[in-house]
């Protein structure tokens, strides 16, 4: 296959995306595929620049907002017509956060009739918006912590959410801009911090207990994983720095609880109309109840990421995972085109 790997971009998760892209490029090449690296912030990466571009690691904190603001997206539609991308079979999206994960890029690729990995425009947009995704979880009978959207009256937060509370941007990942608020006096500062990364802010009940995650590949839930972070939450530093958290696959759970969690993950995946692959995050409270936090449509693919670890626990090596994701994308693309053709479009 000839595959373009899109990575980097201009979101707060740029560094994570570069790390994911580097892993995916290496994995797909190890399977004999032709791989073209593409950064939407700069365009097709030239062979002589590739080593330097992919070498950047993930820092303790996300890139500064001012640095990201200085970047300007290339004309993606024109970029996809670059001669290096002639005869492309599929685009592997290794972007995270806005533009790559929110449906914008998916719309461009749909219009260009190019196969791409992961969920489509609608699923990507709904999962990225945590307010919308939680509404759909409730509709599907999937337990999710209570939430309000800012601005919210302090008395309303105290009565409906309580403390501690989680304050986070509605459309971000990697816990960027997230704060655990332990008392009302900290609430406004946390909301202001979250607004730095998004125009909508979610205030959610904090669920103490075990942090669990379920990778989904195709229509199959992979082994459940448990994350034991150094701090109260699985924050940006814990996710991407060595020793930041202990990640156990498969999680130490009774078989019936593991099965229940897998079914909830698949229900969340379907409620949001996701496809290809995803990762659904949960909390297990002290009474043994599961609470769905969110679904990730483009989970991280770095060396420290949870999705590859879940696949490995299922006996699927990372290069094979990447190849399967590409194959699923091509099959989905062909299926959609067949439907459109039969419908007379």
Strands in 50-149 per DSSP E: 90-93, 147-149
Mapped onto helix, strand or coil, the DSSP state of residue 236 is helix
Read off the tokens for 223: 């082994």
Among 247, 294, 323, 332, the one annotated catalytic? 294
Look up 256 and say whether it is catalytic: no
234 touches 245 (CB < 8 A): yes
| Structure tokens given for 123 | 């699923």
Could you confirm whether 129 is annotated as catalytic?
no
* Active-site entry in 11, 123, 236, 240: 240
Which of 198, 281, 323, 332 is flagged as catalytic?
281
Spatial CA neighbour of 222 closest among 249, 192, 243: 249
Cα 229 from Cα 211, distance rounded (Å): 9
**89 φ, ψ to 5°?**
-90, -40
Q: Is 29 a catalytic residue?
A: no
Q: Is 240 known to be catalytic?
A: yes
Helix, strand, coil % over all residues of the chain, rounded to 5: 40, 20, 40
Give the largest Cα separation in the chain, rounded.
Answer: 60
- Which residues on neighbouring strands pair with residue 4, listed in sequence order? 36, 91
Measured in whole angstroms, the distance separating CA 264 from the mean position of its chain's CA atoms is: 18
* Per-residue b or e along 31-63, where b marks 16 or more CB atoms closer than 10 Å to that residue's CB: eebebbbbbbbbebbeeeeeeebbeeebeeebe
The question of whether 336 is a catalytic residue gets the answer no
* Torsion sign, CA atoms 78, 79, 81, 82: positive
Rg, Å, the chain Cα set: 20
Which residue among the candidates 17, 119, 124, 174 is catalytic per the annotation?
Answer: 174
- The answer to whether 236 is a known catalytic residue is no
- Residue entry with tokens 């109840």: 289
**Of 98, 124, 278, 296, which one is the catalytic site residue?**
296
- Among residues 62, 96, 57, 56, the alpha carbon closest in space to that of 242 is found at 57
Asked if 133 is an active-site residue, the reply is no
Catalytic one of 11, 13, 238, 310 = 13
Catalytically annotated residue among 177, 244, 276, 300: 300
Active site (annotated) includes residue 278: no
Cα 295-159-196 angle, rounded to 5 deg: 50
Out of 275, 279, 283, 284, pick the active-site residue: 279
Residues marked active site are found at 13, 174, 240, 279, 281, 294, 296, 300
């Amino acid at each position: 296959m000839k595959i373009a790997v899109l990575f980097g971009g201009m979101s707060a998760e740029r560094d994570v995306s570069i790390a994911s892209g580097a892993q995916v490029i290496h994995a797909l090449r190890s399977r004999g595929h032709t791989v073209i690296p593409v950064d939407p912030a700069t365009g097709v990466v030239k062979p002589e620049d590739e080593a330097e571009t992919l070498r950047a690691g993930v820092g303790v904190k996300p890139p500064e907002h001012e640095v990201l603001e200085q970047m300007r997206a290339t004309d993606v539609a024109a970029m996809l017509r670059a001669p290096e991308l002639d005869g492309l079979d599929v685009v592997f999206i290794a972007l995270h956060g806005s533009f790559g994960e929110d449906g914008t890029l998916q719309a461009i690729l749909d219009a260009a009739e190019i196969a791409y990995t992961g969920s489509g425009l609608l699923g990507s947009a709904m999962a990225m918006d945590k307010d919308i995704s939680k509404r759909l979880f409730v509709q599907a009978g999937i337990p999710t912590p209570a939430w309000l959207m800012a601005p919210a009256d302090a008395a309303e937060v105290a009565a409906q959410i309580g403390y501690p509370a989680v304050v986070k941007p509605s459309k971000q990942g990697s816990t960027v801009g997230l704060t655990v608020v332990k008392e009302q006096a900290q609430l406004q500062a946390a909301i202001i911090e979250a607004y730095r990364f998004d125009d909508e802010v979610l205030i959610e009940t904090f669920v103490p207990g075990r942090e669990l995650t379920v990778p989904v590949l195709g229509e199959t839930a992979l082994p459940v994983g448990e994350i034991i972070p150094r701090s109260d939450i699985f924050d940006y530093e814990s996710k991407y720095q060595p020793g930041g958290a202990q990640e156990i696959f498969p999680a130490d759970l009774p078989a019936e609880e593991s099965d229940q969690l897998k079914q909830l993950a698949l229900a969340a995946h379907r409620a949001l109309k996701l496809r290809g692959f995803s990762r659904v995050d949960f909390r297990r409270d002290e009474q043994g109840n599961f609470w769905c936090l969110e679904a990730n449509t483009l989970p991280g693919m770095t060396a420290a990421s949870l999705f590859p670890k879940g696949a490995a626990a299922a006996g699927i090596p990372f290069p094979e995972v990447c190849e399967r994701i590409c194959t699923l994308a091509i099959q989905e693309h062909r299926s959609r085109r067949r439907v459109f053709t039969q419908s007379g479009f």
